[in-house]
Amino acid sequence: MDTIEVKGNEDLGALSPLRLEYSDQIFTKLAEVLNEVHQMNHSTRFWKLITEEYVRAVINRIQELKATDVKAAPGLYPIVVNSLPDRRQKIRRGTKQLLNYLKTRKNRGLIYQLIRENDLLLSGFKDIPGFKEETGGVELPDQELIIAGAGNRKIRKRLDELAEQADEPIIKNVIRQIPKIYVEHFRPLYDSVELFDPGSKTFHVMGNFHLGRRQLTIARYIEEGARLIWHQNGAFIGEVVYKNSRYLSHGVADEYRTWGWQLTEKDQPGKAWFLEKFRAPYEEKSQESKEYDLLLCFPKLRPQVRDELLESGAQILRNLDRHRYPRILVRPQLSGSLTGQIEALQAMIADTRAELSTGRSPMAAETASAQCVVQMSVPATNFMECIYMNHPTIGILNNKQPTDLIQPWYRFLEKRGVLHPNAELLAEHLNRIEIVDWWSQLISSDGYQEFKNKFAKKNLVKKGLLL
């Protein structure tokens, strides 16, 4: 591949098919050049696990890399920001890396002791009740990778030579900017992985990509014949055709365990283990009386949807019967831009009876504190958390690329008043119903139970019945 065909300023969010197209092109190029400079012949799957953070960073700043001849020195570590990182960001990342390393430096020996003594290894299940007991696996700790010194500068020189051979500026920049952890310092880290009969090992993984010792070890083991099983950890997966996290985890896995559904041969219907960690804090809070009639749950206010979401929220608050719903909590999504989201939502609810959440209280506790949760955009992980716990929920359907699998269930939920095309119709429905009666009838129906078992299958069984 000699070029990356960057188009206009299209949305490259997590649901963008163009993001997946760019990812494929960049991973292919990185695998090619890193294999060459390190004199390896590893699969693209291996390099996907290793370089995922850098690929995210490249896509975030792809227009800049296309238009500029970047001469800045590459950083030590990948930094996922929307433009080339400045000196302050590099220092902050390096400091964070060092502090995390000091906290986890003793884990290296434990990681390889556990791998030597066990064939079934877990990553990302530490806070998931019951998974370890059901599988018999052991959770691997992580160790932050730390690098120091100049490293092997000859490898960087070979990499720069490859960059100069590229015709396209973006290819030159992508290669030049590969962080040092993947180039000068990679081989010693790679060689430090201790191998114990890789072909007998199976790794169960849930969660985001992050290049620590655990992920480096898993990447090398699967390249040597170990089996990798990845578990679903978000509601969009299975409902949306193009979902970046599914593309990555599905691409590297030998088997993909879902919350009950199946789209491809690699998918295996499993249980909604990720939702199980929601259960205990929810049940503890649900024993108390309801503080709120409704919880309006907002997704991240991205620029592309910000105005529409705020208007929908304002419309719901204007149209709701004030006597029936006098106590309303509005919750922003916890994210790096939380302050800006809180300010935007505060302006939206300035003249209403609604209260604004800080967004920092546990989602499970705030869900349990409300009689019904209003999802400002579906798909949403909290929508499935509510389904998992049979907690009343209603939402605005905003899936522009639904899978064939989910569409019949969306129609079912629309007919039963759970999903609505806009805020006005949602508010009208809430003004017509008695929430407890409406929801009780819904969850006792065969259709609801079938939907739940396919998209949020319970992990606990009692008296032969799925809870």
Tell me the pLDDT band of 3, cut-offs 50, 70 and 90: low
**Confidence tier at 460 by pLDDT (50, 70, 90):** low
What does the alpha-carbon distance between residue 131 and residue 233 come to, in Å, rounded to a whole number? 14
CA–CA distance, 189 with 144 (Å, rounded to integer): 11
User: What does residue 404 show for φ and ψ, rounded to 5 degrees?
Assistant: -60, -30
**Mean pLDDT for the stretch of residues 341-354:** 84
Q: Quick one: average pLDDT of 163-172?
A: 90
pLDDT surpasses 60 at 462: no
Does residue 198 register a pLDDT over 60?
A: yes
- The residue type of 465 is L
> Which of 141, 75, 80, 130 minimizes the C-alpha distance to 105?
141
Residues 6 or more apart whose Cβ sits within 8 Å of residue 261: 238, 267, 269, 405, 454, 455
Q: What is the DSSP letter of 373?
A: E
Q: What's residue 464's pLDDT? A: 37
CB 42 within 8 A of CB 220: no
- Rg (C-alpha) for the chain, rounded Å, is 24
Q: What is the mean pLDDT of residues 23-50?
A: 96
**Is pLDDT of 132 > 80?**
yes
Phi and psi torsions of 215, nearest 5°: -70, -40
Q: Which residues contact 164 (CB under 8 A, 6 or more apart)?
A: 172
pLDDT number for residue 247: 87
Give the span between the Cα atoms of 344 and 339, in whole angstroms.
9
pLDDT, mean of residues 125-138: 91
- Contact yes or no for 433/324 (Cβ under 8 A): no
pTM summary value: 0.92
d(CA 218, CA 214): 6
The yes-or-no verdict on residue 219 having pLDDT over 80 is yes
The band of 336, judged by pLDDT with boundaries at 50, 70 and 90, is low
Tokens for 29? 């190029």
The better pLDDT of the pair 9, 392 is held by: 392
Residue 54 · residue 30 · CB < 8 Å: yes
- Separation CA 120–CA 124 (nearest Å): 13
User: Which domains does the chain carry?
Assistant: 17-276 (no CATH), 277-466 (3.40.50.2000)
| Residue 236: closest CA among 375, 374, 384 | 384
What does each C-alpha distance from 330 to 159, 290, 299, 353 come to in angstroms?
51, 15, 11, 11
Strand-pair category, 461-462 with 465-466: antiparallel
Coil/strand/helix, residue 59: helix
Mean pLDDT is highest, among 13-22, 174-183, 457-466, for 174-183
pLDDT > 90: percent of the chain: 73
Tens digits of per-residue pLDDT, 271-307? 999 999 999 999 999 888 899 999 999 998 888 888 9
Q: Is the dihedral of CA 180, 185, 190, 193 positive or negative?
A: negative
Structure tokens at 137: 């696996």
Distance CA 197, CA 225 (A): 9
d(CA 382, CA 401): 19
Q: What is the pLDDT of residue 2?
A: 62
Q: What is the DSSP letter of 216?
A: H
Asked if residue 104 has pLDDT above 90, the reply is: yes
- Residue 280 C-alpha from the chain's centroid: 22
Q: Burial letters for 87-111: b for 16+ Cβ neighbours within 10 Å, e otherwise?
A: eeebeebbeebeebbeebeebbeeb
Name the average pLDDT for the chain: 92
Q: In this structure, what is the dihedral angle of CA atoms 430, 436, 442, 448, given to the nearest 10 degrees?
A: 100
- φ/ψ of 225, rounded to 5, equals 115, 0
Cα 464 to Cα 116, 149, 460, 467, distances in angstroms:
37, 60, 10, 9
The DSSP bridge pattern shows strands 419-420 and 393-397 to be parallel
Nearest C-alpha neighbor of 15 from the set 412, 334, 402, 295: 402
Q: How far is CA 156 from CA 48, 160, 189, 192, in A?
A: 20, 6, 16, 20
pLDDT at 243: 85
> Which residues does residue 258 pair with via DSSP β-bridges, in sequence order?
269
Cβ atoms within 10 Å, residue 50: 24
Cβ atoms 391, 367 nearer than 8 A? yes
Which of the four pLDDT bands, split at 50, 70 and 90, describes residue 129?
confident
Looking at residue 20, its amino acid is L
Residue 67 has what pLDDT?
83
- Residue bearing tokens 């809070």: 285
Residue 300, phi-psi category: left (phi > 0), alpha (psi -120 to 50), beta (remainder): beta
